[in-house]
Structure 1
Amino acid sequence: MNLRPLLPVLAGAVLVGATLVPAPATAAPIPTPDDPVTSEENPRVPEGAAWTEHYLPSTDGVELHADVLRPADLPADAQTPVILSVGPYFAHAGQTGDDGFEHTGPSERFFDLVEGADLMAEGYTFVMVDLRGFGGSTGCLDWVGPGEQADVEAAVEWAASQPWSNGRVGLYGKSYDASTGLVGANLEPEGLDAVVAQEPVWDMYNYLFSNGVRRPNHLGTPRAYNSIASIQGMADDSERYRANAAYERSHPECFADNLTDTQDPDEESAYWQARDLAAQAEGSQVPVFVTQGFIEPNTKPEDMQAYLENHDGEQRGWLGQWEHVRGNDRGPDGVLRMGREGWFEEVLRFYDEHLKDVEPEVEDPAFVVEDNTGRWRAEDTWPVVTRSTTVRLQRDDYVDDGGAGDARLAAAGADTAWDMEHAPDPVVQSRVARGPRTTEDADGYQTWSRPVRVDTRVTGTPRVLLDVEGSGNVLVRLWDVAPDGTAVMFDEQMSLVEDGSVAFDLKSTDWTLREGHQLAVGIGTNTSWSWADTPSGETITITRARLELDLQNTDDEPTDGARSPYLDDYLAAYTTTWDDRADGTFTLTVPPRG
C-alpha cells in the first residue's frame, strides 16, 4: 500500500505537534455512539456503513479512541461479529501524515477489506482503535510494549462486550497492526477467536537491531513514529478527539522516551524481552492466519518459525517471495503482488468459521508456499523438514573493516526514517549483490557444498555456530551458485562477536537449490547496506564453524498461484557472477517423502 510521505521528521529528541488543519467551509457531522453518520452525510464513510465514534479506557489512565463501522441497514442493537484492527495509522487526518482530506472521517486504511470482502453486506462490524499516543487516544506511544499490549487487550474485550457485538472478535492487520494482532493472539483476551496478520514483526528487537548490530533505521524508525503520533485532529473533529490528539504537546517525555528507550542494543534487556512476541506466543490457542515474504526488505522473516513453534492453536499462512504487501495488493499493471488469487474470499471463510460457526464450503490448505522457482505448493504446516543436517564450515580469518567503509558510509547517508508500513527499495541495499571477487576475498571467505544431485530445498531457519578469536562484527550469507557461476544471495544475518562462542539464526527461508547448484556460505565483515555497524578493525579468526540446515525434497503438492513479481526484482538486485568456484567440502542430500 502506497502511503503519502511522513510528516517532517526532526533530528532532535522531541517533535513539535503538527499544525491543525484549517477549518473547512462546511464541517462534517460528528458521529456519536447514538447518532451514526453514513456516506450520504460524509463521503469518507464507506457505502452501506454507519460510522460512530467511541472512547474506552486502557491501563495507566489512557483513553483509547475507536471508529466503528456497522451495516447501515441493521438496528443499532443487532448483534454481529466484530473485525478489529488496533494500530498507529488510524488518525482522521491521515495514516502517516496529512493525507489532504477536507473533512474528518474514519481512516481508509482497511477500506480495501471493508469493500473487497463486502463486510457490511456479510454482517460484520469493523472497528479501528488508535493505540495510545496515536490518533484520538491519549498516552505515550510504546513500540508494542506492555502499554500497547494492554491497549490491544482492552480493545478486544471492549469490542466483545458491546451490545451490538455477538461477543466474537477477529483481529486484522498488516505490518504494525499485524504485530498487534500477534499480541492479541498471545494474550488470548476474552472474545478473541481469530487473527489475520500480514507481514508482521515477530520480535520488535529485530526491526532495529540484529544480535547487537544496529540497523540503519535504528533511530529513523522511532523518529518516524514520533512524527505519526504528532498528527493532530482536524478542525471539524470533536473537541474531545482534538484534545486527545494533542496529548504529546503537554507530555514531551513521550517522544524523548521513545527515542532513548529503543536504543538499547541488548536483546536480553527487560525492554526488548517485553516485546519478544515470538516467545510470548507460548501456548496460545487463538487461530492465526499469517502472511510472510521470505525476501521482504522491511518486516523480515525473523523469529517467524519461533512464533509458529510456540503457538499451539490452528495456523494458516501464505508464505512466498514478495515484498511488504497485502494479500490483495496489485501493482500498476494489475498483477497481484503475492501472485495468488482469492485473498478476501479465504480471509472471509476463516472469519466465518471462527466468528460465525459457518463451515467453509472450500477446504483451504493450511499453508500455501511459494519458493524461489515461483511455484506454489500446499502444506499442512511450515516448515516441512525432510532432513536436518549440521555441516562443518571452513576455519579462516578476515579483517573487520566494513569492506573499506563504503557500505557503512552509504548506510549512514541513506534515508533511514521509515516506519513499518514503508520499505527500502531492494536496489538501495544491493551492494550485497557484488559478492566476493574471488574465493579468497579479503572481506571474508566462503565454504562450498558439493553440487546437489537433485533439487534440494533449504527451508525453515538456518542457524550458525561460531568459535571466535577477536572482537567485532560478522556477516554470514547463503548463496545459491549455478554451474555457470551465477550466484544469488538468498539469506544473511549479522552479529557482534568477541572471544568465545556465538550462535544465531539467519532469516527464515524457502529456497530451492536446483540440481547441479552449490550452496556457498560466506563469513566475513559487513559489506551490506542493511546494517549500520561499527567495524572494529581487528582480525577476526574463526576457529570453528558449523551451519545447521533444514532440508526438504521437492515432492510437492502443487496449488494455485503465479510467480510473485517482486521475485524478479529481488533477483535483479541480488544476483552476481563469480569467476572462481570450489569443488565443495560438504554434501546436502534429501530422501524422497514417505
Structure 2
Amino acid sequence: MKRTWTVTAFALAVLMLVGVPAGSAAAKPGVAERGVTHEQNDRVPEGAVWTERYFPSSDGSETELHADVLLPKDLPEGAKIPVILSVGAYFGHSGQLGDEGWSHAGPSDRFADLVEGGRLFERGYGLVQVDLRGFGGSTGCLDFMGAGEQADVRAAIDWVAEQSWSTGAVGMYGKSYDAITGLVGNNLDQESLRAVVAQEPAWDMYNLVRSNRVAKLSGVLAPNTYNQIAQLPQLPDDTKRYRKNARYEQRHPECVAYNTENNLKADPRSEYWRQRDLAEQAKGSDTPLFVTQGFVEPNTKPEAMQEYLANHQGIQRGWLGPWEHVRGNDRNQDGKLKMGRAGWFDEVMAFYDEHLKGHDTKTDYPNFAIQDSNGDWRAEETWPAARDSRAVALRDGSYADTGEDGGQASYFSWSHPVEQDIRITGTPRIDMATSGVGNVMVKLYDVAPEGSSTMFDEQVSLVDSSGDVGIELKSTDWTIPKGHSLTVEIGTIYDGGWIDTPTGSQITVRDARLNLTTDDPASDKPADGEKSPYLDTYRQIYAKELTHGDPSFTVPTPRG
C-alpha cells in the first residue's frame, strides 16, 4: 500500500484503476459522512477528522460540488475556526493526475506538506478541498476556468464561510491549477475571502495554450490531461453518491468534446478567452495576495503577471525568481530548496494569522523577496520596483519563415556593452511594422564580450497582413553585467514549446522598438536566501555562442 499522506509526482497519462487488495483495511462506504479520524483511516492526516459534504454551485445549474472537510480532531463543539480552502481538479480520491494505487478511499494528500509544515490543525485552522465541476466527486462539465468553474469558486467560498464551525474568515491556497482558482477568488471580491496564497499560477488562461495566436504544445496536452483527470475512475469503497458523480463526464461525452474544441480557439479576443482573462478581471480587486512565480519556469510562465498585479489594488506579497514549476517548500534530491529560500510555511502561516485571525504577527518579511539572475536575493516593496519604460530602436531586417535555425532564419540587433550592471525587469514589449505573412519569434540574450550568451526571455506571434505586430514578452528580472551586451534576435520560430506552421515567406521588419524597464542592482536591499539549483541548469540549457555584430542601440541607464 502507498505510504500514507505523502506527495508523489505523476506522469500526465492516466493510469488504469487498481483494485483493493484482499485483506486491506478499507474504510466503509459512507463513513466519512459521520466523521473519520486517522486511527480509523490512515489516509486522514493525524490530528484531523474527515467528513464529506455536497453543495450546489452558484450559477443556478444542477452542478453539485463535493468537498473533503478536515477539521481539528479536538475541536470543541460549537467552536469556530478560520478555514484554508483549495478548489481544484486534483482532489479525486483515486489520485491527482492518475490512479495512485490507493487501497481505500480517503481525502487527497495533495497539500499534506501544508498540513504538516504549517501545523495547520495545531494552529486552529480547518482545511477544505473542493472538487471543481467534472472532477472527483463533483458533477458538471469541466470548464477550464470559465464562468462555470468561477461559479464553483464563488460557491465554495460562500459555503465554507457559512458553516457552523467556520468563523467566516476564509483563506485560499494552491499551486498551479488550484493557484489559479485563488486568483479567481480574489477577482470575485467576496468579503469572506481574507487572503490568497497562489504558487505558480497562470494569470490569463489563454497563455497556457497559445502565444499571440500561435499554438503551444501545452495547448494540446493540457485539455487532454484535464479530460483524462475528469474521467478517472474512483475507488470501490467511495460512497455511492461520490462514485455516481465521478462518472458524470463518462455519461456526458460532450463535456470533454467541448473542452477540447474550445481550447483550439486562436483569437484571444473571442468571448471564450475574454471570459478567462483573469488579469483583466483583477481590476480593482483587493484581497491580500501572496504569490510565487518562476521567471524562467516552462509551465505556467510569467505572462500577464505584471498586468494582474497592477490591476490588483490590495496587499501584495511574493517570492519571485529563476526556478521551475515548484512549491515554496520543495527540495531536490540533494535536499536543497528548489526556490532557494527557507521558511515558506512560516511566512505563509504568518500571512494567514494576520489576515484570517487578525494577529499582529510582528514579522519582518519583505513584501517581495526576489532572486535575480545571479542567485542573489533582495527585498522590494513592490514588483517591479522600477516602472519607467523606455524604448530603444532596433535594426530593420528580414528573415525567412522556415521554422528552422540558421541561414536567413533570423537577424540580430546588438547593444553597446553596458557600462554598469543593469537589470532588465518588468515586462519587455516590442512593436514592429512588418510585411509578409507567417510567424515571428523574439529572443533576448545576455552576451559576454567573448560571445557566450544566455537567452533569458522570448515570445512568439503570428504575423498577418495588417503589417503591425506588438508583443509582450514574459516578465523577467535579469541582470546584464557590466561589459555585457543585450542582443535581440528576430526571426522564425525554430525552437521552444510551440506548434507553428512555417509559411516559407520572407518577412520584412521595420521600425522595431523594444520597450525596456531597467533598474540599478547597486541599490538592492539584500534578503535571506540561496541560489535556486535550477538557475545553473537553465543557464546550461539556454547557452548559445553568438558572434558579435555592430552595436546599434544603448540599453537605457536606470533612472534615480
Normalising by structure 1, report the TM-score: 0.90
Residue 47 of structure 2 corresponds to 48
Counterpart of 2:139, as a letter, is: T
| Partners of 2:390 and 2:556 within 8 A in 1 | no
Counterpart of 1:525, as a letter, is: T
Residue 459 of structure 1 corresponds to 425
TM-aligned CA deviation for residue 7 of structure 1? 4.1
Report whether the alignment pairs 1:586 with 2:550.
Answer: no
Report whether the alignment pairs 1:544 with 2:493.
Answer: no
Residue 543 of structure 2 corresponds to 575
| Partners of 1:386 and 1:591 within 8 A in 2 | no
Report the 3-state secondary structure (helix = DSSP H, G, I; strand = E; otherwise coil) of the residue aligned with 2:160. helix
Counterpart of 1:481, as a letter, is: V
Report the 3-state secondary structure (helix = DSSP H, G, I; strand = E; otherwise coil) of the residue aligned with 1:240. helix
Residue 72 of structure 1 corresponds to 73
Residue 416 of structure 1 corresponds to none
Listed one character per residue, the Cα deviations across residues 413-458 of structure 1 (whole Å, up to 9, x for unaligned) are: xxxxxxxxxxxxxxxxxxxxxxx6xxxx511100011000000000
The separation in 2 between residues aligned to 1:215 and 1:142, in whole angstroms, is 19
Q: Compared with structure 1, are the counterparts of its residues 501 and 589 closer, same or farther at alpha carbon in structure 2 (3 Å cutoff)?
A: closer
Q: Compared with structure 1, are the counterparts of its residues 343 and 538 closer, same or farther at alpha carbon in structure 2 (3 Å cutoff)?
A: same
Report whether the alignment pairs 1:5 with 2:11.
Answer: yes
TM-aligned CA deviation for residue 592 of structure 1? 6.3
TM-aligned CA deviation for residue 378 of structure 1? 0.2
The separation in 2 between residues aligned to 1:247 and 1:20, in whole angstroms, is 20
TM-aligned CA deviation for residue 76 of structure 1? 4.3
Report the 3-state secondary structure (helix = DSSP H, G, I; strand = E; otherwise coil) of the residue aligned with 2:97. coil
Report whether the alignment pairs 1:486 with 2:455.
Answer: no
The separation in 2 between residues aligned to 1:520 and 1:377, in whole angstroms, is 26
Residue 340 of structure 2 corresponds to 339
The runs of 5 or more residues in structure 1 that have no matched partner are: 10-17, 405-435
| Partners of 1:486 and 1:575 within 8 A in 2 | yes
Equivalent position to 1:472, from 415, 432, 438: 438
Report the 3-state secondary structure (helix = DSSP H, G, I; strand = E; otherwise coil) of the residue aligned with 1:180. helix
Residue 165 of structure 1 corresponds to 166
TM-aligned CA deviation for residue 486 of structure 1? 0.8
TM-aligned CA deviation for residue 4 of structure 1? 2.2
The separation in 2 between residues aligned to 1:24 and 1:239, in whole angstroms, is 21
Task: Extract structure 1 runs of 4+ deviating beyond 6 A.
Answer: none
The separation in 2 between residues aligned to 1:296 and 1:75, in whole angstroms, is 44
The separation in 2 between residues aligned to 1:509 and 1:495, in whole angstroms, is 19
| Partners of 2:399 and 2:409 within 8 A in 1 | yes
Equivalent position to 1:495, from 445, 449, 461: 461
TM-aligned CA deviation for residue 387 of structure 1? 4.6
| Partners of 2:367 and 2:380 within 8 A in 1 | yes
The separation in 1 between residues aligned to 2:39 and 2:29, in whole angstroms, is 14
Counterpart of 1:57, as a letter, is: P
The separation in 2 between residues aligned to 1:19 and 1:564, in whole angstroms, is 37
Q: Compared with structure 1, are the counterparts of its residues 290 and 303 closer, same or farther at alpha carbon in structure 2 (3 Å cutoff)?
A: same
Counterpart of 2:445, as a letter, is: W
Report the 3-state secondary structure (helix = DSSP H, G, I; strand = E; otherwise coil) of the residue aligned with 2:233. coil
Listed one character per residue, the Cα deviations across residues 30-72 of structure 1 (whole Å, up to 9, x for unaligned) are: 4667621000000111110111100010032100000011100
Report the 3-state secondary structure (helix = DSSP H, G, I; strand = E; otherwise coil) of the residue aligned with 1:68. strand
Residue 418 of structure 1 corresponds to none
* Percent of residue pairs identical: 54
Report whether the alignment pairs 1:527 with 2:475.
Answer: no
TM-aligned CA deviation for residue 2 of structure 1? 4.7
The separation in 2 between residues aligned to 1:325 and 1:343, in whole angstroms, is 12
Q: Compared with structure 1, are the counterparts of its residues 99 and 478 closer, same or farther at alpha carbon in structure 2 (3 Å cutoff)?
A: same
Report the 3-state secondary structure (helix = DSSP H, G, I; strand = E; otherwise coil) of the residue aligned with 1:202. coil
The separation in 1 between residues aligned to 2:503 and 2:76, in whole angstroms, is 67
The separation in 2 between residues aligned to 1:473 and 1:182, in whole angstroms, is 32
Aligned pairs for 1:503-514 (under 5 A) are: 503-514=470-481
| Partners of 1:24 and 1:102 within 8 A in 2 | no
Report the 3-state secondary structure (helix = DSSP H, G, I; strand = E; otherwise coil) of the residue aligned with 1:219. helix
TM-aligned CA deviation for residue 360 of structure 1? 1.1
| Partners of 1:293 and 1:319 within 8 A in 2 | yes
The separation in 2 between residues aligned to 1:3 and 1:96, in whole angstroms, is 9
The separation in 2 between residues aligned to 1:216 and 1:96, in whole angstroms, is 19
Listed one character per residue, the Cα deviations across residues 299-322 of structure 1 (whole Å, up to 9, x for unaligned) are: 100000000000111100000010
The separation in 1 between residues aligned to 2:484 and 2:455, in whole angstroms, is 13
Counterpart of 1:501, as a letter, is: D
Report the 3-state secondary structure (helix = DSSP H, G, I; strand = E; otherwise coil) of the residue aligned with 2:334. coil
Residue 299 of structure 1 corresponds to 300
Q: Compared with structure 1, are the counterparts of its residues 194 and 222 closer, same or farther at alpha carbon in structure 2 (3 Å cutoff)?
A: same
Q: Compared with structure 1, are the counterparts of its residues 87 and 74 closer, same or farther at alpha carbon in structure 2 (3 Å cutoff)?
A: same
Residue 450 of structure 1 corresponds to 416
| Partners of 1:196 and 1:289 within 8 A in 2 | yes
The separation in 2 between residues aligned to 1:5 and 1:452, in whole angstroms, is 44
User: What is the root-mean-square deviation in Å for CA atoms of aligned residues?
Assistant: 1.5
Aligned pairs for 1:285-434 (under 5 A) are: 285-385=286-386, 387-403=388-404
TM-aligned CA deviation for residue 524 of structure 1? 0.3
The separation in 2 between residues aligned to 1:317 and 1:246, in whole angstroms, is 39
Normalising by structure 2, report the TM-score: 0.96
| Partners of 1:175 and 1:199 within 8 A in 2 | yes
Counterpart of 1:333, as a letter, is: D
Q: Compared with structure 1, are the counterparts of its residues 48 and 508 closer, same or farther at alpha carbon in structure 2 (3 Å cutoff)?
A: same
Listed one character per residue, the Cα deviations across residues 370-413 of structure 1 (whole Å, up to 9, x for unaligned) are: 11000000000000117521000111111101017xxxxxxxxx
Counterpart of 1:29, as a letter, is: K
The separation in 2 between residues aligned to 1:505 and 1:275, in whole angstroms, is 18
Q: Size of the alignment, in residue pairs?
A: 549
| Partners of 1:452 and 1:589 within 8 A in 2 | no
Q: Compared with structure 1, are the counterparts of its residues 331 and 20 closer, same or farther at alpha carbon in structure 2 (3 Å cutoff)?
A: closer
| Partners of 2:395 and 2:512 within 8 A in 1 | yes
TM-aligned CA deviation for residue 78 of structure 1? 1.5
The separation in 2 between residues aligned to 1:548 and 1:225, in whole angstroms, is 37
The separation in 1 between residues aligned to 2:22 and 2:110, in whole angstroms, is 22
The runs of 5 or more residues in structure 2 that have no matched partner are: 1-6
| Partners of 2:37 and 2:44 within 8 A in 1 | yes
Report the 3-state secondary structure (helix = DSSP H, G, I; strand = E; otherwise coil) of the residue aligned with 1:403. coil
Aligned pairs for 1:245-264 (under 5 A) are: 245-264=246-265
Counterpart of 1:473, as a letter, is: N
Listed one character per residue, the Cα deviations across residues 180-207 of structure 1 (whole Å, up to 9, x for unaligned) are: 0000000022410100000000000001
Q: Compared with structure 1, are the counterparts of its residues 143 and 528 closer, same or farther at alpha carbon in structure 2 (3 Å cutoff)?
A: same
The separation in 2 between residues aligned to 1:231 and 1:51, in whole angstroms, is 22
Q: Which moved more, 1:27-36 or 1:268-277?
A: 27-36
Report the 3-state secondary structure (helix = DSSP H, G, I; strand = E; otherwise coil) of the residue aligned with 2:379. strand
The separation in 2 between residues aligned to 1:444 and 1:450, in whole angstroms, is 20
Counterpart of 2:230, as a letter, is: A
The separation in 1 between residues aligned to 2:68 and 2:76, in whole angstroms, is 18
| Partners of 1:31 and 1:52 within 8 A in 2 | no
Listed one character per residue, the Cα deviations across residues 82-125 of structure 1 (whole Å, up to 9, x for unaligned) are: 00000000000000010011111000000100111000000000
TM-aligned CA deviation for residue 582 of structure 1? 2.0
| Partners of 1:29 and 1:42 within 8 A in 2 | no
The separation in 2 between residues aligned to 1:473 and 1:71, in whole angstroms, is 56
Aligned pairs for 1:84-123 (under 5 A) are: 84-123=85-124
Counterpart of 1:223, as a letter, is: N
